Structure 1
Amino acid sequence: MTYAIDPELAPWLDMLPEVPLTDHESLLTARASMAQLGEVLPGYEPVNPVDVRDTAVPGPSDAPDVPVRVYSPGNRTGAVPGLLYIHGGGFVMGDLDMFNAQLLRLVDELGIVIVSVDYRLAPEHPFPAPVEDCYAALAWVEAKAAELGIDPARIGVAGESAGGGLSAAVALLARDRGGPALRFQYLGIPELDDRLDTPSMEAYTDTPIWNRPNAVFSWTSYLGAEPGGADVSPYAAPARATDLAGLPPAFVTTCQFDPLRDEGIQYAQRLAHAGVQAEFRHYPGTFHGSGMVETAQISRRMFADVVDALRRGLGVTTG
């Protein structure tokens, strides 16, 4: 198919990595390609001092500690909002370096503390390992809020792609387990539904970066079984949740030529119907991951919208 890609994005299509996921060998190749891409993407030099340190937090029961990276504004005075950030990568790729530049910029502009979590990846570690790692990191953020300089009343969770899906799942877990209390959730182009039956998922078999075949591999790897089964947990696929009431306010984004588009739209609608304060943004002419082309006007607008949503959602009063 041909797609009406935004004119500023279209010239980059041939330079973006193709990530066909079909088997374990292709996954290893894709992981290497994504790591190489991370090395060539532009970095970010903060205007304000940002302290960055890597550490590990207690993992789920009978599981290893979870690596995290803590970004703290060096010039803060008093407690500031905190954000647990969960990287994307289809549940099977990604690490702490993947969104390093973006997180430095968010801390620089918002003056918040961000804790980025390096959860275990599928298929080596299928559900529930990744989401339990993320929940364990959230519990640590709450427990160490005073030490981290975080206001415990202003903690949020955020992620993009699979990270958006995991963020939605962490919000469900936090509600159902009685905490930690979340102020806000940012679900960027989220991967939410293993049933793979939306119009965009059925139509977009050859879209850039992410497409239906990759989604099938992603969910099969994450679930350890064929997707679309009758007994899939809503903590694996949040679109399966029958009750969305009582969740924190949400900011949900989607891209036009993305197989994940319609599940994001539907989840935002269902949040609103459940009485959750849900804000939604859809970006025409974009595709999954197109925001990495930072110079495009649409990409700049997408990032500015996220900054604004986090500012409002976390109650940021400075910056």
Structure 2
Amino acid sequence: MLDLLAGPFLDYGFMRRALVGCLALSLGACPLGVLLVLRRMSLVGDAMAHAILPGAAIGFLVAGLSVVAMTIGGVVTGLTVALLAGLVSRLTPLREDASFAAFYLVSLGLGVLLVSMRGSSVDLLHVLFGTVLALDNAALVLIAAIASVTMLTLAVLHRALIVECLDPGFLRAVGGHGMLVHMLFLALVVLNLVGGFHALGTLMVVGIMMLPAASARFWSENVAGQMAVASLLGFAACVTGLLFSYHHSLPASPAIILAAGAIYGASVLLGRHGSLLASALRLRHLQH
């Protein structure tokens, strides 16, 4: 059993590198997913993940599969879409989720078109689904640096971010710079999606951000606890997915997301707070 679980990571460097990248991604992206759930912006994460695609595609056209070029392009387009969607929602009757959806659809189509202009189907699969089993030093450093910046920012601005989630009007009333906090939060989301894009691709990266966050809601009632649980569940999904893909010769990125989905399903059924089991036990207790 030990060889089955630990053997792949002990024997192969690419598995260890994937494990390290997934750990950093879980520490940075999963807590942000909790805040997105709290803000009722879960689908915005998906929109932002696709918003980085045109910039990453332009970086690919300029420099090939370069981590630096694709990262810069992804960050620029991601922040641009976040800014434009925010402006549209504030200057027109269109809600923020609808404006993000509009930009997401345009970004997805443009990004796929740009990659297809020069790259092969393999390159397109790399951009869409990532290469978690082929992470190089540059990608690992990038993901780790983004996770470090995210954790530090969350530690410093934790209270302001929570207040801005629950009552942005109050934060503006007390001079808390609500707009600045909101844009900083979106910038962190973009950075983590860009970092995770190198591992899981634009189609899968939002899964590791949102599924553990949604699962954590069933195991903890406070925000700090949900952030910690989400990171643990995210890392558990990554380990499970990597092992499953290794032993069954399957693509790693979809295996990780399916593992996260299985954890979510188990949390809905068996979690301590609000799950089907918890609700049934509470109803039975009240009946008695």
Whether TM-score is above 0.5 comes out as no
Q: Which has the higher contact order (CA 8 A, sep 6+)?
A: 2
Superposition TM-score, scaled by structure 1 size: 0.26
Superposition TM-score, scaled by structure 2 size: 0.28
Q: Larger radius of gyration, structure 1 or 2?
A: 2
More strand by share: 1
